[in-house]
Amino acid sequence: MIRVNRRSDREPPNSLLRRFNRRVQQAGILAIAKRNKYFEKPISKRERRIQAIKRNRRRSHRFISYR
């Protein structure tokens, strides 16, 4: 649960909402909620995870080869 407290009594609600939205984005809560919106089979999850690992390896290899 993300909580945002007012810094002072005079803080406008817009800045409070902005800080809340920033914390939600940083925590990745919206990405998780969107990903869990529909049921995904365990095999699909495993395939997506394997593809992400391959993609990250390619990216890291690309950056290492330039240096």
pTM for the full model?
Answer: 0.57
Q: Which residues contact 30 (CB under 8 A, 6 or more apart)?
A: 24
- pLDDT by residue for the chain (67 residues), tens only, comes to 889 999 999 999 999 999 999 999 999 999 999 989 999 888 998 999 999 999 999 988 877 766 5
Residue 7 lies inside a defined structural domain of this protein: no
Residue 37 lies inside a defined structural domain of this protein: yes
State the pLDDT at residue 47: 94
Q: Are 39 and 33 in contact (CB under 8 A)?
A: no
State the pLDDT at residue 23: 94
Residue 3 lies inside a defined structural domain of this protein: no
Residue 21 lies inside a defined structural domain of this protein: yes
Q: How many domains does the chain have?
A: 1
State the pLDDT at residue 61: 81
Residue 60 lies inside a defined structural domain of this protein: yes
State the pLDDT at residue 35: 87
